[in-house]
Structure formats: C-alpha cells, structure tokens
Amino acid sequence: MLRTVSWLLRTGAYACVGLKTLVHPPAGTGSLALAVAAYALCGVALLVWGLTDVTGDAAAGHAPRLRLLLGAAAVLAGCASALPHAGSLIGLALLFVMQLGTEASLPVGWAAAGCTVAAVETGVLVSGAGRGIALGYPLLVVTVLIASHNRRAWRLRAEQSADLLAQAELLRAEQRRVAVLDERTRIAREIHDVLAHSLGALSIQIQAASAVLTDHQDIDRAVTVLAGARRLTADGLTETRRAVHALRSSLAPLDEELAKAADTHRQRHGVPVRLTVEGEPFPLPADQALPLFRTAQEALTNAAKHAPTQPVEVILTYEDDHVTLTLDNPLTQRAGDRPQFATVDGGYGLTGMRERLLLLGGTLDAGARDGRWRVCAEVPR
C-alpha cells in the first residue's frame, strides 16, 4: 500500500512538472530541446525505476544500470532547471538524488549530488540565471542528500531491528525445540532406568526361585521369593507410572531415599547394606538428586547380580561444592555362595548413568580396586 501511494505521488509530481515546464516552455530552440530532453529522460528513468521496483531487479544485476540512469536524469534535469521557466525540473533531480542517497552506497549518493550541483552551476553559467538559483538549488540538493542519508540510516536500523526480531524468534523456537527434545530424552532415560532396575531385580528374584525349586525342592522358600518378586513388580509399576506421569520427580531428601533403597535391598536379598552420610546434608534439586538415586539403584542391582551374598557399603558425602555417592562391595565370593544371576540390562545401565551425570557437569567412575567393585558418582552443588 505504501509503495503504491509513493508511486502515485511520484507520477503526480512528474505530471505537474511536465505541465509547468511545457505549458510555459523556455525561450529558444536549444533551451526548449534541453528541457524536453531532460523531462523525457526523467520519464524513462521513472519508468525503469518503477519496473525494477515491482520485479525486484533493483537488488540484482540491474542495480548499477538503474543507478547510472537515475544519476544521468538527475544531472540533466539539474542542468535544465537553471533555464528560464524550467525551474520545476529541479524537483525531479531532487527525487533521483533522494533515491540514490537512500538506496545506494554513500559514495554513489555523494557522487550523484556533486554531479547534479555541477550541472546546475553549468546551467546557470549558460543561461545567465540569477544568484538565487546558483546558490539555492545546490543548497536544496545538499539538503536532500543529507535527508536521504538520515532516511537510509533509519531504514537500516529498521531492517536490523526486523532481522534481530526474526533471529530472536528463531532462537526462541529453537530453544523450545531443544527443551522438548531434552525433556523427551530425560523421560526416556527415566523410564529406562526404572524398567532396567525393576526388571533386573525381578529377573534375579525369578532365577532365585527357580534355583530354590530345582536345587533344593524348597517350595515354601520359593513361594517367599516369588512373593517378593510380586511386590517388586508392584513397586516397578508404581515407579513407572511416576516416571510417565510426573515430569518432575518428587523425591524425598536423597539420604532418605537411599535409606529406603538400602532397606529394600537388604530385605530382598538378605545381605547387609550399610549407609553412611558424611557432611551436613542440604537439599538437592530434583535433576541432581534423581541421577544419584538411579545410580545407587543400578549399583545395588549389579551387586545383587554379580555378588549376591556380599555386603554393600553406601557412602553419601556432602561437601561445599559437590555431592559424592560411593557404593562398594567385594568382588570375590565365598565357598557355597549362590551363583551369579543374569539380568536383561545388557550392560548399558552405568553408561546411561554416566551420560546423565555428564549433562549436569558431574562424573561417574566404576571399576575394580583391590578385589572390590566401586562405583563413585559426583555432581556439583
């Protein structure tokens, strides 16, 4: 709409200049020919300018030729404007100088303005025009050039603001997309951790029940083990529902959760689990406490799988700048120990824990040392 109004005004101005110039043409054949030539060239320049504005070619390879045409029209119109009864042609020259000063580079704008001023002064010398034209028209050209530079600066700021807004919107969209992906990844890891722990422990219980039935034919003990497996299944379903329906885990304080996990492991597998809390406990955010708790669950499941009768020591250490969780159990088994059990974990549990802790800037170290298996997880405060 604004472009249409602008071109209507330019066309109207061109028509008004033509009426004023041709109704009372300059005296003399040479002066009339110069005025007509200037007016005709201005018309061609406006036409080409309008076509390139509509098609968008002004921003492509046609821009240099268009600028040359506009500059030539401004120079010829400026020269003819010094003729008697042709002063209105200076308006067309100013129109082209304004366009070149706004859309082209600063050197192009200054070159067009300088050539137009030189043409006006040349016309003054040829026609013998008065001092008002000799000083006034160049002053108008310089004023229009300065105005065009201000307009150019305003337009560039507007374009930069629009670009910044567009980039900000793209950034917000990307942040939303990343947040969604992070949340999906978090939920996927949480469900994996819950299922891996529950199914791993359930597999151990079922294998223990099978061993009791086949090796000892102890039905009562097998029933007790299967009852524990049933409770474990119910606990796993509860944990899975919480992981699916709660986007943020509502953990109790970490030391309390670890105490519950230690009691559960002690009752389920009949082995001692000692929990030690060192330092002054302080509340941890859910995104830090939950990976530590899942690490403890994974380590306890591995202890039950690889060393089912060995005691486990759990140490939770609160320090000024980080929290450390250590789980330690012997690797060697005593004579008569129950056989090691297999789970469906596939060995990816600790890898997943390490990835979760790395996202928080933490670390996970797991390995054998002096005949013991030790898992050490650390998160910054």
Provide mean pLDDT across the span 249-272.
84
Is the confidence at residue 378, as pLDDT, over 80?
yes
Q: Strand 322-330 vs strand 363-369: parallel, antiparallel, or unpaired?
A: unpaired
The kind and range of the H/E element at 346 are none
**CA dist., res. 161 & res. 155, Å (int):** 10
Within a domain: 260: yes
* Residues 255, 344 share a domain: yes
Per-residue pLDDT tens over the stretch 286-312: 778 888 888 898 888 888 888 888 899
pLDDT digits (tens, 9 = 90+) for 2-41: 778 888 888 888 898 888 877 777 777 788 888 889 889 9
Q: What is the mean pLDDT of residues 124-151?
A: 87
Quick one: pLDDT at residue 243?
58
Convert the pLDDT of each residue in 51-78 to its tens digit: 887 776 554 445 788 889 999 999 999 8
The answer, yes or no, to whether residue 195 has pLDDT greater than 80, is no
pLDDT of 341 reads 40
At 319, is the pLDDT very low, low, confident or very high (cuts 50, 70, 90)? very high
Tokens 């992906």 sit at which residue? 181
Are 227 and 350 found together in one domain? yes
Task: Please tell me which residue, 207 or 61, carries the higher pLDDT value.
Answer: 207
Q: Where in the sequence is the domain holding 123, given as residue range(s)?
A: 2-129
Q: Is residue 50 part of a domain?
A: yes
CATH number of the domain that 364 lies in?
3.30.565.10
Q: Is the residue at 161 inside a domain?
A: no
Using a pLDDT cut of 90, give the percent of the chain over it. Answer: 15
Is 75 within a domain?
yes
Question: How far is the C-alpha of 17 from the C-alpha of 25, rounded, in Å?
Answer: 11
Q: How many domains does the chain have?
A: 2
pLDDT score of 325: 95
Q: Residue 152 domain-assigned?
A: no
pLDDT interval class at 249 (50, 70, 90): very low
pLDDT at 251: 65
Residue 313 has pLDDT above 90, yes or no: yes
d(CA 306, CA 145): 85
Same domain, 340 and 275: yes
Mean pLDDT of 196-205: 72
In a domain, 158, yes or no: no
Residues 231 and 348 in one domain: yes
pLDDT for 67: 87
Residue 158 — pLDDT band, cuts 50, 70, 90? Answer: confident
- pLDDT of 349 reads 65
Q: Return the pLDDT at 197.
A: 65
More confident residue, 183 or 40: 40
Please tell me the distance from the alpha carbon of residue 88 to that of residue 361, in angstroms, as a whole number. 74
What does the DSSP 8-state code read for residue 338? P
- CB-based contact 35:83 (threshold 8 Å): yes
Confidence class for position 338, pLDDT limits 50, 70, 90: very low
Distance, CA of 249 to CA of 233 (rounded, Å): 20
Do 122 and 253 fall into the same domain?
Answer: no
Is residue 210 located within the same domain as residue 338?
A: yes
Is residue 188 a part of any domain in this protein?
Answer: yes
Q: What's the start-to-end Cα distance of the chain, in Å?
A: 59
Q: Are residues 108 and 197 in the same domain?
A: no
Q: Are residues 95 and 193 in the same domain?
A: no
d(CA 344, CA 242): 22
Do both 343 and 234 map to the same domain?
A: yes
Residues 277, 158: Cα–Cα separation, whole Å: 60
Measure the CA–CA gap between 305 and 124, rounded to whole angstroms: 104
The Cα–Cα gap between 261 and 290 comes to 13
Output the pLDDT for position 339.
Answer: 43
CA–CA distance, 39 with 32 (Å, rounded to integer):
10
> pLDDT value at position 118?
92
Amino acid at 12: G
Per-residue model confidence (pLDDT) at position 223: 81
Residues 120 and 194 in one domain: no
Say whether both 210 and 314 belong to one domain: yes
Please tell me whether residues 255 and 373 are part of one structural domain: yes
| In the predicted structure, residue 336 carries a pLDDT above the cut 50 | no
Does residue 166 fall inside a structural domain?
no
Angle, to 10 degrees, between the axis of helix 29-55 and the axis of helix 63-80? 150
Residue-wise pLDDT tens digits, 224-247 = 878 877 777 777 776 666 655 544
pLDDT of residue 86: 84
Q: What is the pLDDT of residue 318?
A: 93
On the question of pLDDT at 277 being above 90, the answer is yes
